[in-house]
Structure 1
C-alpha cells in the first residue's frame, strides 16, 4: 500500500534542513578556501558537480529556477579553479562537518546510525528516469561515515523531490522565476521582498508579476487570487506524489521509525539556523 501523502510531506520537512546544510557557512568557507570568489561560486560548483562538466545551459535547465544569465556567471568559470570530483569531495566534507556541529551529541547516537541506514535505503531505491540531478547523485559513492551518509541520503531525497517539483512546475506552466514569486506570496511577502529574487532588476520582476496577473493568478495589489492559490496547492500536491517512490522500499513501520529518529536531528539543525 502507498504511504499516506502526509507522511511523504513530513519527510520533506525533515530532510530539507539536513540536505540544505550544504548551503551554510562551513561548506561555503571550504569552497572559498579552494579559490571560489563568493558563495554562489561554491553553490554552483558543489550542486552542479554531479552533472560533470555540463555547460551553463544544461545546469540552468536542470536547476530550473534561476534567472537567465545567473548560472553562466559561475559555470564554467568554477571549473577553471576546481574539478567536479574535488567539488564533490569538498561539499561532502564541509556538509558533514556542518551537520555534526549542528546536532552535537546526536551525531554519535544509535538513532543517527539508524536514520542514516533507513534514509539511505530509501534514497538509493527510486528510478532515475526523468530525474537528472538525482541520477547524477545516485552515481556517487555512498559515504561510510554515518553523519556523512545521512547528509548524502538527505541530499538524494531532496534533489529527487526537486526534480519532481520541476516536473510539476512545467506541467502547470510555471517558470522558475514565477515559482519564486508564487512562493513569496504563499509566505505573505511581496515578490520584491523575497530573498531569492529581490536582486533582479525591478522591471524584470514586475514583468513576471504582470504575467501572473494576466493569467488570473495574482491580484492587482500583488496577492494571490483564488485561482493562484489553488494552482500552487495543485503544484505542491503533485510534488508530494512524485516524491513518494523512494519510500516505497520502506514498510509503514520503518517509515514511521525514520520520521521519529529524524525529528530531533532536523530540530537541532533548525535550531542553529533560527
Structure 2
C-alpha cells in the first residue's frame, strides 16, 4: 500500500517503548526471576531466546542477537535452561510485561484504543516476510495472546524484532561488528564509548582494540570521536534499517496509520515516563 511518507520510523518511535518494556520497565522481569534465574541477564537471555527452544546453542543465539561481546551469551545459554524451561520463560515474560504495562498505564490500559492498536499492529506484523529474519520468524510461531494488553505487547515485540533483524543486516552490510555497533551508537550521541552501558564493562584493552579497528577504517578519528565517514556510516545504517522495516505497514492504510498514532501515543508516553532516565 502506498503511503505519502515512510511509516517505519514514525511507528518505531511509538512501538519501541512498548517493545523495550522487558528491559526498562520496573518489575517487568519479576516473574522471570521468580523461576529461579540468577540475575537480570539470565532473565534477558531466557526471555528473549526462549522462542528458539532449549536446543539452540549459545553460538547461534550470539549470531542472531549480533551485538554481544564474545562469550557474553555463553555465560547464560544454556545455563538458564537448567533452571527453567523456554515454555515457562515465555509465559512468565508475557505475564510480567503485561503487569508492568498495566501498572504504569493505569486506566489507560483498558482504553478501547489498546485493543484497536493491538489488532492493527498484529495484522502488520504477521504480514511481513520472514526470510533472513531468524528471531522474528521464531516469534511468529508463538501463540497470539487474546487479552488486549498482552496482544499489544506481543505485536510490538514482533515488530521490534522484525526491525532488529533488519538492523543487523544493515550493520553487516556496512561492515559494523556487534561491539562496534555500540561504539558507533555511543559516539554518535557524543558519549565516550567507555561510558556506554552496553560496553563499559568490557576490559579496557578489548574495547580499545575495537575502537582502534574502527580508527584504522576511518570511522573514528585520532581524537576518539566519529569522523565524517563514521557519522555517514551511522546515517546509512539507520536509513537502511528504516527501509527494511517498511514491509509490515504495506497492509495498513494511511487512515489506519493515523489511528495507530492516535491510539499508541498516550500509552507509549505513559510507559516512557517509567524509564530510568
TM-score range, shorter chain: over 0.9
Q: CA RMSD in A?
A: 1.1
Cα deviation, residue 259, structure 1: 1.6
Unmatched 5+ residue regions in structure 1? none
1:106 corresponds in structure 2 to 108
1:47 corresponds in structure 2 to 48
1:150 corresponds in structure 2 to 152
TM-score (norm 2): 0.96
Cα deviation, residue 27, structure 1: 2.8
Q: Matches of 2:155 and 2:226 in 1, distance apart?
A: 35
- From 224, 229, 253, the equivalent of 1:251 is 253
Q: Matches of 1:133 and 1:190 in 2, distance apart?
A: 30
Cα deviation, residue 4, structure 1: 5.3
Q: Which has the higher helix share?
A: 1
2:225 corresponds in structure 1 to 223
After superposition, the C-alpha distances for 1:181-215 in whole angstroms (9 at most, x for unaligned) are: 00001111010010010000000001111111111
Unmatched 5+ residue regions in structure 2? none
Cα deviation, residue 5, structure 1: 5.5
Report if the CA contact (8 A) 2:68-2:179 is conserved.
Answer: yes
Question: After TM superposition, where is structure 1 displaced by more than 3 Å over at least 4 residues in a row?
Answer: 1-6
Residues 257-266 or 41-50, more deviating: 257-266
Q: Matches of 2:261 and 2:216 in 1, distance apart?
A: 42
Cα deviation, residue 25, structure 1: 3.2
TM-score (norm 1): 0.97
Cα deviation, residue 252, structure 1: 1.1
2:32 corresponds in structure 1 to 31
- Paired positions, count: 274
Q: Matches of 1:238 and 1:64 in 2, distance apart?
A: 17
- The verdict on how the C-alpha distance between 1:167 and 1:4 changes in structure 2, with shifts beyond 3 A counting, is farther
Q: Matches of 2:43 and 2:148 in 1, distance apart?
A: 24
2:67 corresponds in structure 1 to 65
